[in-house]
A and B are shown apart, each in its own frame.
Chain A
Amino acid sequence: MSHWIFSEEHDMFRSSFKKMIRNEIESRIENWEEDQLIPKWFIARLSELGLTGMTPDREKSMDEVMEAVLMEELAKTGAAGPALVLQEHNNAVSLLDRTNKSKLVPDFLSAALEGKRIGTTVAADPGDMTVKIKEGFFNLNGRLKNVRNGGMADFLILSFFDDDKSGFITVDFASEGITVQKTENMLGWRSSSVSEVEFRNVKISTENLLCQGDEAEKQRRLINDQKRITWSLICTGIAEKALEAAVSYSRTRQQFGSALSEFQSLRHKMADMALNLEKSRNMTYRAVYDSIYNIDSFQRQIVLEEAVSMALHVCDEALQIHGGAGYMMEFPVQRFWRDTKMFDLHLNNIPAEKVVMSL
């Protein structure tokens, strides 16, 4: 029996999805990390198999628990990239779906659900970007940094604050005046193709406005909530991979006449890692449950911080157990370590303001 949140159906899904990942994705991860780009067929293939979460036929969409399994297993490819890419795409899709602007359905929502077009979401920094309304158009000037999926996405859902206005608009990357420049050699998340997007006098029809004001605020909260859970799942997946790597390396590496796995200091270190992983995993599953039933719990508020600090600890110790090999780019443990640190850098961007208030 696994954790109570999973039904037999979920367990079956997990094992078949694992197979798919092993056959079609795992062997390509190293290349994608090297290229700093995941090819578009990745989303198309997942869509074709009905594995992106939401499907054109809503009846066949996954439940939230299955989506959790999906993200966790994707992260076990040993890089955050694929799961992050899918998450940004899904965020864009679900925003289009929830706001339901009929003009935007054929070119964006339907195409994205079929995996033909890829989306991403990003929040504009008001210092770097202006969004003005002029004669029925939004006029966009400035730049967006750290746009995930930048190298592969066809459209972008932009969250903006400007002139006391705030909202979400859909922007086609093919619009005139947009240039996308990939940011090479980031610390981590390399396959998620982080990019810088420049806007020069870009005109976007006001029909592309998805929502504004209070509604936009609500959507922002939903996205942050989803992000907290998805990122926790990714941290759990990567940490599990790191622990597996440490266990297996320690069993083969011989020093002082025996395998590393025979040394009690290392056995207990790995036991601590396993415990830390499991406690964060349990918090994460509980947060998934509370999110489904909209229970405003302490668990939901702190889950990401717990998951990130767990993953930092587990990946750092896994690297340590590898010794000199852990420092080498040819061993994936250095990537687990870099990729989890990236989540730490982003923690401040996802407010957990309620935690202190709930005391």
Chain B
Amino acid sequence: METVLRKGKQPYFTEEHDALRERVRQFVKKEVSPYISEWEELGTFPVSMFRKMGSLGFLGLRYPESVGGQGGDYFMQMVLAEEINKCGAGGFPMGIAVQTDMATPPILQFGSPYHHEHFLKPAIRGEKIAAIGISEPNTGSDVSSIQTRAVKQGGEWVLNGAKMYITNGTRADFVTMVVRTSDEPGYKGISLFLVETDTPGYSVSRKLDKVGMRSSDTAELILDNVRVPDKNLLGVEGKGFYQIMWQLQGERMIAAASAIGIMDFCYEKAAEAVENRGPAYRRSLLDIKRRIEVCREMTYATAFRYSQGEVPSKEISMIKLLSAQTAHYAAGQALKLLGEEAAGPDHPVQRLWRDSRLNRIGAGTDEVMKEIIAKEIGL
């Protein structure tokens, strides 16, 4: 489906997008917001949410119908990300985004018919929970230095190592895993595998305790002689670094869309409460609003290019950086305007201030984004 610029109105969204937005809003209102504080307390959200969202088609909005998706364009995905991020916490939407925009796009892009059948389709239906395994205890920003190693033995690969900060990690059914498959240093010799979590040797060593994003579970994983069949190799052996760099572009795009939802939500909360308290409050609101609108425009303009099949990595890095900083700023300013009454454990704005801090770290830190931009402008 091609995105059509709506001439003479706002250019990005059609009536179909608006209709989806309304559906997602209703879903969030009925099925998410009433329970979010409970899930925050719990440190995770119910597995049934994947099923529910799968049956509504929300987990495959932009995937082709041939794999069970809705065949929509990228702005459909943007709508979902924005709206579920208005549920009052960043954790639950992050768990969903890992399912829809981080762990599964490489399966569609690089996967075999077997991968589509066995992993992608059940993930779109919400029957299998997906996670993505990139970071390790010793490797964060520097992806090319990962140490988890796969050695080929007959028709199988034997995996050893550890993965860190894995969202959905405590209950994933499979992990799209980045692993080293040869002794070549750096980005050479890295490959992707789809690892099923019921394979012997796979274990969750601990559930991590985080300052924010608490309604999403995060795990450390141990791989101890995990035997993965050769057919679970995703894409081309040795090309995993390029594949994961491609994946990260989508991850950064959706991070920006999610951030838009967070900043809109925080702004609305603050505006509702203090709009009538006089000019000083209005000036502060205006300052937040301006930053949001600038961020939104650049994010949409970049998303438009992405929806047309282009992957403009400079602009994607820019909106990832900008949206992360703006969302956290907006949440912080909104919190400040609301005052101490917003500091209570169930107040969504203090929660989003903690949650949005992760946007400046995950999917590439602010500093990593700046390095990419620097390279792209010729430095």
Q: List residues of chain A with CB under 8 Å of any chain B CB.
A: 1, 3-4, 243, 247, 250-251, 261, 264, 267-268, 270-272, 274-275, 278-280, 282-283, 285-286, 289, 293, 295, 297-299, 302, 306, 355-356, 359
Contact = CB atoms under 8 A, between A and B. Distances in A.
B152 interface: no
Say what secondary structure dominates the interface of chain B: helix
Contacts of B377: 243, 247, 270-271, 274
A305 B314 CA distance: 25
A209 to B, nearest CB: 35
A283 B371 CA distance: 24
A4 B321 CA distance: 22
Nearest to B326: A279
Interface residues of B, number: 39
Nearest to B6: A293
B286 interface: yes
A5 to B, nearest CB: 9
B373 A271 contact: yes
B379 A261 contact: yes
B310 A1 contact: yes
A268 B5 CA distance: 34
10 contacts: A4-B301, A4-B304, A274-B318, A275-B321, A278-B298, A283-B298, A293-B7, A299-B293, A356-B282, A359-B289
A267 B293 contact: no
Contact of B282 (A261, A306, A359): A359
A359 B371 CA distance: 37
Contacts of A280: 294
A282 B286 CA distance: 20
Nearest to A3: B301
Contact of A251 (B11, B286, B301, B379): B379
Given A247-B378, A270-B377, A298-B289, A275 B322 contact: yes
Given A1-B305, A279-B298, A359-B275, A306 B290 contact: yes
Contacts of A247: 377-379
Nearest to B292: A298
A356 B315 CA distance: 30
A270 B379 contact: yes
Given A274-B318, A298-B289, A282 B301 contact: yes
B41 interface: no
B9 interface: yes
A278 B305 contact: no
A270 B298 CA distance: 19
Report which residue of A251, A285, A289 has the largest number of chain B beta carbons within 10 angstroms of its beta carbon. A289
A121 B377 CA distance: 39
B267 to A, nearest CB: 10
The 3 closest A-B pairs by CB, nearest first: A271-B373, A271-B370, A267-B374
Contacts of B315: 278
B3 to A, nearest CB: 9
